[in-house]
Amino acid sequence: MTSGPPLDAVLPLDDEPTAAPFARSYTIAVLDRWLGGGTGHADVVDAAALITTELVTNALRHSTPDALRLQLRDASVLITVTDTNTHLPVLRTPSPGDVGGRGLELVTAFATRFGCRCFTGHKAVWAELNLRPGSTAACGR
């Protein structure tokens, strides 16, 4: 964990199918470096990788992704994906037979907090993971 100012890393994203797996690998590498690569935060790194993959995949599916931003604060990791669409994501409940549509459900299941905001011609979708053991809870609980 940090004891000074937040650590910040930004990865520009392109509109290619490789953006999601590349962003996932980047998230794992950055968080391993920031958190010391030990097993103490393995669950956080795994959850962050999954959340990153889902947010970037949604940006690819519904828009054009801009960037992935990772921030490490004293007690949390903030993951933000920006894209060129101002329509906010909708958390829905897919039918059992649906092939997709569970991405945001996964994000809210692993994130401590989740949200989105629009700004001129873009939106940012973010998820926060608490670094304290046993504190990860679904959004809104």
- Residue-wise pLDDT for 17-32, tens only, equals 999 999 999 999 999 9
Phi, psi dihedrals of residue 2, rounded to the nearest 5° = -90, 150
Are 116 and 87 within 8 A, CB to CB?
no
Mean pLDDT of 81-89: 88
Average pLDDT estimate for 89-117: 79
H/E element, 127: strand 122-130
DSSP string, 59-112: HHHHS-EEEEEEEE-SSEEEEEEEES--SPP------TT-SS--HHHHHHHH-S
- The pTM score is 0.84
Class of domain 7-91+101-130: alpha beta
- Considering only residues 2 and 6, tell me which one the structure prediction assigns the higher pLDDT: 6
Sign of CA dihedral 124, 25, 35, 13: negative
Query: Is the confidence at residue 53, as pLDDT, over 50?
Result: yes
Cα–Cα distance between 15 and 112 in angstroms, integer? Answer: 28
Angle, helix 42-62 to helix 19-35, in steps of 10 degrees: 150
- For residues 96 and 25, the model is more confident at 25
